[in-house]
């Protein structure tokens, strides 16, 4: 039942709001909700370790991601933090990469980190989920091959809501 509510909230975000809402608010909500649809490979990710949502230094969200994040995802508490320009990405489960901070994306390569961005060439740079504005609505594209390469499994419900899935569907 909870999964259905989450899917409905993402579907609502992808279609849009009745009242105009700033793109940054919708994008922040997506970044906060994506972890609910991801399975990370077994490793040091114990249920007691917080699920870490990391934001690059130039992110546009202010406190909106933290406000949109639930208190727990898959039984793990959620933490949201903004990285410094020289910070390592180890320990991040989700990494939002702003255009000005694309070097962070390179540091996340080959690590089980869900990378999210909002620039035209994000997928070509190795990103997994790219947020786009299409017909005045925030939508997202998924690079499934990149997710598989780093060991992430994305829920089929998330893939059905994507505007485009690159690198296969299953």
The CATH number that applies at residue 59 is 3.40.50
Q: What is the mean pLDDT of each run of 10 residues along the chain (170 residues)?
A: 46 50 90 95 72 94 91 88 90 94 90 95 94 93 96 96 85
What pLDDT does residue 168 have?
A: 74
What pLDDT does residue 33 have?
A: 95
- What is the C-alpha separation between 157 and 161, in angstroms, rounded? 7
Question: How many domains, in total, are found in the chain?
Answer: 1
Cα→Cα distances 43→47, 91, 92, 147, Å: 11, 11, 13, 16
Domain limits at 16?
2-166
What pLDDT does residue 86 have?
A: 83
pTM (2 d.p.): 0.86
């Amino acid at each position: 039942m909870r999964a259905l509510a989450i899917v409905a909230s993402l579907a609502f975000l992808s279609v849009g709001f009745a009242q105009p809402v700033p793109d940054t608010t919708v994008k922040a909500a997506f970044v906060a909700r994506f972890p609910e649809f991801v399975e990370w490979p077994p490793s040091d990710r114990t249920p007691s370790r917080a699920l870490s949502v990391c934001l690059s230094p130039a992110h546009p969200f202010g406190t909106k991601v933290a406000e949109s994040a639930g208190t727990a995802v898959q039984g793990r508490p959620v933490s949201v933090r903004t990285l410094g320009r020289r910070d390592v990405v180890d320990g991040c489960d989700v990494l939002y990469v702003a255009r000005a901070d694309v070097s962070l994306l390179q540091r996340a390569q080959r690590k089980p980190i869900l990378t999210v961005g909002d620039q035209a060439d994000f997928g070509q740079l190795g990103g997994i989920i790219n947020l786009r504005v299409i017909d005045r609505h925030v939508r997202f594209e998924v690079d499934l091959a990149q997710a598989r390469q780093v060991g992430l499994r994305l829920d089929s419900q998330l893939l059905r809501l994507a505007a485009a899935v690159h690198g296969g569907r299953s």
